[in-house]
Chains A and B, each alone.
Chain A
Amino acid sequence: MSDTPNVVTGDLEAPTTEAPQELSESTSEVAENRREVHDMWVAGSEEPGWMRSYTDEGAQEMLDAGDEPVQEIYRGTVVTDDFIEDEPADDDELQILNMGPQHPSTHGVLRLHLELDGETIRRVKPIIGYLHTGMEKTAETLTYMQGSTNVTRMDYLSPMHMELAFSLAVESLLGVEIPERGQAIRILLTELNRVSSHLVWAATQGTDLGAVSMLIYGLRDREYILQFFEKTTGLRMNHNFIRPGGVAADLPDGWEEDIEQIIGKVEQGVSEYEELFNGNPIFRDRTIGVGVITPEECKALGVSGPIARGSGINWDLRKAFPYSGIEKYDFEVPTGKHGDVWDRYIVRIEEIKQSLGIVRQVLETMPAGDYRTEDRKVTPPPRKRIDESMEALIHHFKLFTSGFKAPAGETYRAVESPRGELGMYIVSDGRERPWRMHARTPSFNHVQALPTMMTDSLVADIVATIASCDPVLGDVDR
């Protein structure tokens, strides 16, 4: 093992490590079309490249039934993929339907391999990876200072939560305390982001069930929040605003009036949605009893967030492992009973209201003070000092070019994103870049729960179920 273990010897077309001979030959033959993946593979280790596979279309064929691994979860529950237990598929009777990756109702580039018996779905196989961006690998080349630029692009509907999870992880490595105002700004922005993400969910859930006017309403109300984000952070999405050490800037002048307006408009909008949906017989018929997942299945499959709460699991990381002082604010965790699409709808609409309540409390109790830590190790000197002091200029320059070093160790910090438990796992070897970063993203687990929800339901329930899962494929594939 060399001293710099995260350097991967990287000539993709001619692997320098002990690759089997036939693999090298085939690589040279098909190097035009295929690219071999040596990802997640430490050079010089004894392990063969366990991620070694080809990322072309041929690799996505369904495996033979004998090759299917059985997932075993060591908690007393054995979960078998439902497409293993069933009778072997008879091609004469089952129709194979391929949905996606370019399908407007899959919320991105999710691909579903469906086996239909008439109108009934017998097997579902989600196929992911169409948006794989290699962000975890990219994170190893970026300093902690630059890291939040990268992670904010993972879950593009809740960028603030991605940044917050990353910043919390880095801060726990560093042992930095954030001032109260910085924490309150973080809570304000993440809860607003939860509202805006749920508004996009409402828009797409309505659209997928035929209520296209919901797309207009949901995005209309989301736009007010995005305008505030643009005013605060400079960008509508992918803000890079919450950074290790605090936030990038203070809130803009007149933010109180903006927040008041947002709360008023979104509350009015939500009451409109409820008017539109709650008594709507089409919406009720297409959601009640559809896409059911039980609490036991949720726990076995790692499902969290509104889906787990819709099944009746009272689990919210804001209550269980509070972060950034969210325990100071008063809010309820809504839960459902039946675990169907309707209960998830109820839970999410209620979460919008609760989040607006938190935003209102932050507005009333916003503490004065600094918005970032005083620790000069992670915080650049104030702009005024740069004009006066050469040392401050050098300090600023070094911080933004070389970054700061974090002590060796590993950490995992999780926040409650609009989709569920969003965690960042960072391993540091004492340098200014992560040795390894892994994001535990909720959508990934929710996509693997799709077969459980969909099997033996009707074709028309597919889009309702996917929309109620609210997957973000950037969150799944990263």
Chain B
Amino acid sequence: MAHRSGPSGFLLTTYDTAVNWTRTRSMWTATFGLACCAIEMMATGAAHNDLARFGMEVFRASPRQADLMIVAGRVSQKMAPVLRQVYDQMSEPKWVISMGACASTGGMFNNYALVQGVDEVVPVDVYVPGCPPGPQSLMHGILTLQDKVMSGEITR
């Protein structure tokens, strides 16, 4: 196919786009519901909001089958190693959305118990603000991530 597709260079650039397109259109999510935001994440996947429109309704319990981890809720010091382990178990390429104020910055709980921002533990691609973010906010965050994936390199 490469030999029949036109001048050189054409194939490589469209190859990137094609790979990125497939990645965005079937991005499976690892369930990582922690607190209030998890309920809103469930609401995003259920009726009225219907995350299936973006090819993302498949919430995988196994991190090995997932591409995206939505950290939904407050991350305690005790949960942080678990979170990191789940992240390590996900196969590349993988992305992380930090959902809500607590996951992003610790939120209103600046105390001994919480990790002050999940980016201390895993690299975060998109931060979704709100306490908790509504389904529309989460979907906006997901679309932002899809834009980011579409415009990015296929290797990183």
- Which interface class (under 10, 10 to 19, 20 to 34, 35 or more) fits A? 35 or more
A-B pairs with the 9 shortest C-beta distances?
A134-B113, A219-B46, A156-B36, A220-B47, A134-B111, A130-B79, A223-B48, A104-B61, A216-B47
A134→B33 contact, CB < 8 A: no
B40→A237 contact, CB < 8 A: yes
Q: CA of A346 to CA of B109 in the docked complex: distance in angstroms?
A: 38
A: residues with CB less than 8 A from B are: 12, 35, 37, 39, 55-57, 101-104, 108-109, 129-135, 137-138, 149-150, 153, 156-157, 200, 203, 215-217, 219-220, 222-223, 226, 236-238, 473-474, 477
Of the listed stretches B10-18, B19-27, B70-78, B143-151, name the one at the interface; the rest are far from the partner chain. Answer: B70-78
Any chain A CB within 8 A of the CB of B154?
no
- Known: A132-B76, A132-B113. Contact between A102 and B47, CB under 8 A? no
B109→A39 contact, CB < 8 A: no
What 1/0 mask marks residues of chain B from 34 to 53 whose CB sits below 8 Å from any chain A CB? 11101110110011100000
Interface of B is mostly: loop
B77→A236 contact, CB < 8 A: no
Q: CA of A455 to CA of B59 in the docked complex: distance in angstroms?
A: 30
B36→A237 contact, CB < 8 A: yes
Any chain A CB within 8 A of the CB of B108?
yes
- Known: A135-B109, A216-B46. Contact between A102 and B35, CB under 8 A? no
Any chain A CB within 8 A of the CB of B32?
yes
Q: Could you say which residues of chain B place their CB within 8 Å of the CB of A133?
A: 35, 74, 76, 109, 111, 113-114
- Known: A129-B78, A138-B109. Contact between A102 and B36, CB under 8 A? no
Chain A nearest CB, measured from B22 CB (Å): 26
Residue in contact with B74 in the complex, picked from A131, A200, A220, CB distance below 8 Å: A131
Residue in contact with A129 in the complex, picked from B35, B63, B76, CB distance below 8 Å: B76
A108→B78 contact, CB < 8 A: no
Residue in contact with A200 in the complex, picked from B39, B47, B82, B134, CB distance below 8 Å: B39
A134→B35 contact, CB < 8 A: no
A219→B111 contact, CB < 8 A: no
20 CB < 8 A contacts A-B: A37-B112, A57-B78, A101-B79, A102-B82, A130-B82, A131-B73, A133-B74, A133-B113, A133-B114, A134-B114, A149-B108, A153-B35, A153-B108, A156-B35, A220-B47, A220-B48, A223-B47, A237-B39, A237-B40, A238-B132
Residue in contact with A130 in the complex, picked from B61, B78, B108, CB distance below 8 Å: B78
- Known: A104-B59, A108-B34. Contact between A134 and B40, CB under 8 A? no
Any chain A CB within 8 A of the CB of B152?
no
Q: Could you say which residues of chain B place their CB within 8 Å of the CB of A108?
A: 33-35, 38
Q: CA of A237 to CA of B137 in the docked complex: distance in angstroms?
A: 14
